[in-house]
Structure 1
Amino acid sequence: MLVLQKTFTGRTVEEAVQLGLSEMNVTENQVKIDVLKPGKKGWFGFGQCDAEVNLTIIDPELKKLADLNTTAAPAEKSRSVVAIQREPFIKDTSELKKSTAAELLKEQKPADGRLNISDNAEKTADYVKAVISALDIKVTSACRIKGNDITIELFSDEAARIIGKHGQVLNALQVLAQTYFQNIQKSFVTVTIDIENYRAKRKETLETLALNMAGKAKATKRPVKFEPMPNYERKIMHQMLTRMKDIETYSEGREPNRYLVIKAK
């Protein structure tokens, strides 16, 4: 049974965290880590105290799975879990970017750049839906425009597949949408693809994770490195920690493998 929250102990904070991640079968970006006790090494065995941390799952997909397990009847639980486990997530987004998208881009004629933003936003939404439909997923959309920011909201019964693991598929679709729109509009406009309010939930998760890992960096006195993530997600975490005077953040690596580092000053 999936546990949403649990406390773990170890000789150090790092050891306690790793024990918790292993037992709960999660990664650091899927949980909120609270350091309850930093632990003490002691002196010749005297005064030694184990570190204690509390891990709370914050990943929306895992929380949804836990809710299903809690509310479903015993017979329905197994069916729900199996259905989610068998959900055909797209693991390799390069297939989405290079093959399906390329073919559809050839089929769809770029719109006249003189058309207004609203018309081109709709054409971009149609392009994104065509890519998704090629994956045998039914989807509809609605466009919102505010200045030079366009949000294409998607609606589908298979939102999990469109989002993908940690938003990988949704992010790939957003790159395609941005590229397509710039090709037909010839002006700087930011295009965001969203579904089931995922972007707002992801922002909250990243902000919590940033504070979480800042605490870990201060407790362990060691830099905390994240998995590669898009520039706008790194920016969210940078902005969240910018007011912490005892913490610094910076990015390393090259796109698309650039990652965030949090370090105590």
Structure 2
Amino acid sequence: MTEAQEVVADEASAASRLEEEGDVAADYLEELLDIADIDGDIDIEVRSGRTYISIVQEEGDDAALRELIGRKGDGLEALQELVRLAVLTSTGNRSRLVLDILGYRRGRTSELTRLAEDAVAQVKESGENVALEPMSAYERKIVHDVVAELGLQSASDGEGARRHVVVSVDA
């Protein structure tokens, strides 16, 4: 097998693994939603080497799904970890899948982008470091990426639930 054929085979294997991961996650979530008697549709998308699962609702009352998201997305984070654990148990593979409910993560990404842009502007204006609110690892990654794109440095500081991003001119 040539090197090019090996690369194609590896990519096909990875794509197959991600599709399997999505199927396992969707089955787990559908069963959970059925048990909780919550209406929701599951969308699966594979992009950039990651599986994205979304729970959406076409019509009707979305209050139960909003409850799943929880305060500041805590319920969503917990549910994502449970889904990842279900995938690990079923496939033996650690998952980096991302779960979203009712577009919460998409909206939060927009908020975090604005927050990071504001922090960068403040650091450039004052020359002082800016510490942001505590956030999850996923959210910190979004902020770090935005800050880097805008040419400044950022680092995570603190421990556990108090871990946050500090934006600075230099690290």
Q: Is the 8 A contact 1:154 1:193 kept in 2?
A: no
2:53 equivalent to 1:151? yes
2:154 corresponds to which residue? 249
1:221-263 residue CA offsets vs partner (Å, 9 max, x unmatched): 3221122211111111111111333x21001123343211111
Listed as ranges, the gaps of 5+ residues in structure 1 are 1-115
In the TM superposition, what are the counterparts of 1:194-209 in structure 2 within 5 Å?
194-209=100-115
TM-score, structure 2 length as denominator? 0.71
Which protein has the larger Cα radius of gyration, Structure 1 or Structure 2?
1
Q: Is the 8 A contact 1:148 1:190 kept in 2?
A: yes
1:177-201 residue CA offsets vs partner (Å, 9 max, x unmatched): 1122212221133222222222211
Counterpart residue type for residue 44 of structure 2: R
1:35-91 residue CA offsets vs partner (Å, 9 max, x unmatched): xxxxxxxxxxxxxxxxxxxxxxxxxxxxxxxxxxxxxxxxxxxxxxxxxxxxxxxxx
Q: Is the 8 A contact 2:54 2:102 kept in 1?
A: no
Q: Please, what is the CA RMSD of the aligned residues?
A: 2.5
1:78 corresponds to which residue? none
Where 2:73 maps in the other structure, the secondary structure is helix
Q: Is the 8 A contact 2:84 2:94 kept in 1?
A: no
2:16 corresponds to which residue? none
Quick check: which one's helix share is greater?
2
Distance (Å, rounded) in 2 between the aligned partners of 1:190 and 1:127: 21
Q: Rate the CA distance shift 1:150–1:186 in 2: closer, same or farther, 3 A.
A: farther
2:39 corresponds to which residue? 139
2:65 equivalent to 1:163? no
Q: How many residue pairs get matched?
A: 145
1:33 corresponds to which residue? none
Moved over 3 A (4+): 116-119
Q: Is the 8 A contact 2:55 2:101 kept in 1?
A: yes
TM-score, structure 1 length as denominator? 0.48
2:71 equivalent to 1:173? no
Q: Is the 8 A contact 2:54 2:103 kept in 1?
A: no
Distance (Å, rounded) in 2 between the aligned partners of 1:250 and 1:213: 13
